[in-house]
Chains A and B, each alone.
Chain A
Amino acid sequence: MKNLNRPELNKSSPSGPPLESTRGGPHIENSRDAIHVKHSPSESSDERTYPPGDVALWIFILAELLVFGVFFSAYAFTRASNVELFNTCQRTLDTNSALINTLALITSSYFVMRAVAAIREDKSQQCFQWLLAALLMGFVFLVVKSGEYLHHYDAGINLRTNLFYMFYLSLTFFHFMHVILGMVILTAVAIKATKGGYSAAEHTGVESGASYWHMVDIVWLVLFPLVYIMH
């Protein structure tokens, strides 16, 4: 229970010894600090607590994954009794667009990872630039996906067309909204980064934003094969 608020306790003692106590409060993280001590000082700027970022956000991520998980299961069970319908409709989807979007999201995740690596070396400006690159990839995703939606709209497909399209549109749109939310979070982090709000010692915010973005990415990596490809 007490671990849940670890990052805040850290924030409240930013003036502690630079290598040790920046991650991990003095009372709660004793065992973890003990592990830290074993490392050589040169390594300890790379010290990683687990999970990275804010624990409250991780609980949010788990809750979101649960919602997607339930949605995916509902899709799978419904498909099992409507295999033909699902297979036929699946062929009308634009796999190329989805592949471009998959690459866009994976690339953006790589950029976000570089942003975290940059801030760990105290390079705020580089962190900002990597985040900007990730946001650009997110934007590519939104444009391509909107193109797909437009195509469906022209074809007169909507939530009431049939069960497959209901699931396809609901799932992808719910994910679409998460890409937007993730981009809002990354933008907030990027703005703070460019103002020098993060450092190698304290960058929980960058890690939190990155963790959320990876969640958005991972959900797509399940969604893409499940809805577009698997027959």
Chain B
Amino acid sequence: MKYQSQAVAKPYFVAAIGLFVAQILFGLIMGLQYVIGDFLFPEIPFNVARMVHTNLLIVWILFGFMGAAYYLVPEESECELFSPKLALLMFWIFLAAGALTILGYLLVPYAALAELTGNSLLPTMGREFLEQPTITKIGIVIVALAFLFNIGMTVLKGRKTVITLVLLLGLTGLAVFFLFSFFNPDNLVKDKFYWWWVVHLWVEGVWELILGAILAFVLIKTTGVDREVIEKWLYVIIALALITGIIGTGHHYYWIGTPDYWQWWGSIFSAMEPLPFFMMTVFAFNMVNQRRRNHPNQAAVLWALGTAVMAFLGAGVWGFLHTLSPVNYYTHGTQITAAHGHMAFYGAYAMVVLTIISYAMPMLNGRTAANSGKSQVVEMWSFWLMTVSMVFITLFLTGAGVLQTYMQRYTDNPQPFMVVQGRLELFYWMREVAGLVFLVGAVLYIISFFVGGEEPEQA
């Protein structure tokens, strides 16, 4: 660790991992509810488990992004963080707001929560993924602005690099597009239209910049390849990600009452969205092949390469699978979407956060560069267990989705939704088992940081 203030990243990373495990647990509860409908009813109904599962995902990824920024920006800018105290204060505010919101979901009926938090003053609740009470949303904006201010001031006073520039652009976009969660038009078409400006323009727009910046940082550090080379690739990747991703929003505008031309725009541009992810894969492997040293933290390198591959598969390939409008006509909102969602979020955003934690945590714990060889072996096991089980979760859900699409929509004798769900039971059971393996992988990831031993030699 080169700068003292980088240490504020640690609580962010710890919270991220804690919430990650909670997210997996709620995923397992929900997975079981797919086959045992009244499991944990009425304490945790399916809709609540789903809300907690998806909200926890967003919150822990945000914790991870913030931790990553607090860790890498001082090192890139070559100066201490503008205000470590502000960073810590925001950590506690964000954690408290997040915990209270989740408790609210679990303890109070959703309508009561809305009433309790004064939703009628500025109604923003009740929309998928943006279920947070208005007051929590305001809290998120305050935390995001304070965070941007802190990071922005650090970047301004220090060395400016392409990585910090791209990261800052991504983080600013993240904050700006979240503001659309306060825009809640009565017209249902407009409501959905702008809802995607948060959801899509986050994950298929500005978050890709953050992903690119974090991945580039870890690759520079672990491969020793010239900054110039990596920065050039970063430019090309983010340019392509923005060109395809922004107009690609159109692939959500097929069936919500928007004009016809979105069928074409959405299909053509979103079909190109795999390209930047593919370039990211080529780029990551290229950098590692050209490495000028063997970094002692090989687990972090594995995570970085894994991110590049899985992001391409999950976001790129599985996204393309159902992005063309004639295909989406049949697959819309089936388990195909769930399959894509799982592998894309894991492969792109969960993995990049696990990558930066894997890289930074040994230093944050006072080591020179890496955990012991033994610890890294455990961590690599966790990598493979989580990644392979996520591949299986995705394949099982894809199988379920294909059957669902056929039986419910494509065949000459379409079956009702619940009848089809009953026929998919086997797939859901297999997904649940894969989910348990995933949990084992996540626990091993945590354990790996507590395995002691000597640091491997720097090669």
Q: Is A66 a contact of B272 with CB atoms below 8 Å?
A: yes
Q: Is B272 a contact of A170 with CB atoms below 8 Å?
A: no
Does residue B259 face the partner (Cβ distance < 8 Å to A)? yes
Q: Is B264 a contact of A67 with CB atoms below 8 Å?
A: no
State in angstroms the CA–CA spacing of A91 and B285 once bound together. Answer: 51
Does residue B244 face the partner (Cβ distance < 8 Å to A)? yes
Minimum CB–CB distance for A105 against chain B, Å: 21
Q: A1-41: which residues lie under 8 A (CB-CB) from chain B?
A: 1-2, 4-5, 8, 11-12
Does residue B261 face the partner (Cβ distance < 8 Å to A)? yes
Instruction: Please give the number of chain B residues whose Cβ is less than 8 angstroms from any Cβ of chain A in the complex.
Output: 28
Residues of A near B289 (CB, < 8 A) are: 1-2
Contact with A along B271-293 (1 / 0, CB 8 A): 11001000100100110011000
Q: A63-B275, A70-B272 are in contact. Are A5 and B236 (CB under 8 A)?
A: no
Contact with A along B225-261 (1 / 0, CB 8 A): 0101100110110011001100000000000000111
Q: Is A8 a contact of B229 with CB atoms below 8 Å?
A: yes
Residues of A near B285 (CB, < 8 A) are: 1
Does residue B269 face the partner (Cβ distance < 8 Å to A)? yes
Q: Is A60 a contact of B261 with CB atoms below 8 Å?
A: no
State in angstroms the CA–CA spacing of A63 and B280 once bound together. Answer: 13
Q: Is A59 a contact of B228 with CB atoms below 8 Å?
A: no
Which of B236, B244, B286 is in CB contact (< 8 Å) with A57? B236
Residues of B near A48 (CB, < 8 A) are: none
Does residue A166 face the partner (Cβ distance < 8 Å to B)? yes
Residues of A near B290 (CB, < 8 A) are: 2, 5
Residues of A near B275 (CB, < 8 A) are: 63, 66
Q: Is B271 a contact of A70 with CB atoms below 8 Å?
A: yes
Residues of A near B381 (CB, < 8 A) are: none
Instruction: Please give the number of chain A residues whose Cβ is less than 8 angstroms from any Cβ of chain B in the complex.
Output: 24
Interface Cβ pair total, 8 Å cutoff: 61
Q: Is A170 a contact of B236 with CB atoms below 8 Å?
A: no
* Minimal Cβ-Cβ distance residue in B for A159: B261
Q: Is A59 a contact of B229 with CB atoms below 8 Å?
A: no
Does residue B265 face the partner (Cβ distance < 8 Å to A)? yes
Does residue B440 face the partner (Cβ distance < 8 Å to A)? no
Which of B228, B235, B244, B269 is in CB contact (< 8 Å) with A8? B228
Q: Is B232 a contact of A54 with CB atoms below 8 Å?
A: yes
State in angstroms the CA–CA spacing of A56 and B237 once bound together. Answer: 9
State in angstroms the CA–CA spacing of A64 and B289 once bound together. Answer: 27
Does residue A74 face the partner (Cβ distance < 8 Å to B)? yes
Residues of B near A12 (CB, < 8 A) are: 226, 228
Residues of B near A167 (CB, < 8 A) are: 264
Q: B186-219: which residues lie under 8 A (CB-CB) from chain A?
A: none
Which of A2, A11, A74 is in CB contact (< 8 Å) with B268? A74
State in angstroms the CA–CA spacing of A42 and B240 once bound together. Answer: 41
Minimum CB–CB distance for B320 against chain A, Å: 12
* Minimal Cβ-Cβ distance residue in A for B260: A160
State in angstroms the CA–CA spacing of A209 and B279 once bound together. Answer: 21
Q: Is A166 a contact of B261 with CB atoms below 8 Å?
A: yes
Minimum CB–CB distance for B230 against chain A, Å: 9
Which of A11, A54, A74 is in CB contact (< 8 Å) with B264? A74
Residues of A near B243 (CB, < 8 A) are: 64, 67
State in angstroms the CA–CA spacing of A160 and B265 once bound together. Answer: 13
Minimum CB–CB distance for A6 against chain B, Å: 10
Residues of B near A57 (CB, < 8 A) are: 236
Q: Is A170 a contact of B286 with CB atoms below 8 Å?
A: no
State in angstroms the CA–CA spacing of A162 and B391 once bound together. Answer: 43
Minimum CB–CB distance for B258 against chain A, Å: 11
Residues of A near B282 (CB, < 8 A) are: 1, 4
Interface centre among B229, B239, B271, B279 (most CB of A within 10 A): B229
Interface centre among A2, A67, A159 (most CB of B within 10 A): A67
Minimum CB–CB distance for A29 against chain B, Å: 14
7 nearest A-B residue pairs (beta carbon): A8-B229, A159-B261, A60-B236, A166-B261, A56-B236, A63-B275, A56-B232
Report which A residues bind B (CB closer than 8 A). Answer: 1-2, 4-5, 8, 11-12, 54, 56-57, 59-60, 63-64, 66-67, 70-71, 74, 159-160, 166-167, 170
Report which B residues bind A (CB closer than 8 A). Answer: 226, 228-229, 232-233, 235-236, 239-240, 243-244, 259-261, 264-265, 267-269, 271-272, 275, 279, 282, 285-286, 289-290
16 contacts between A and B (CB under 8 A): A1-B282, A2-B286, A4-B286, A5-B229, A5-B286, A8-B226, A8-B232, A11-B228, A12-B226, A54-B232, A67-B269, A70-B272, A166-B261, A166-B264, A167-B264, A170-B264
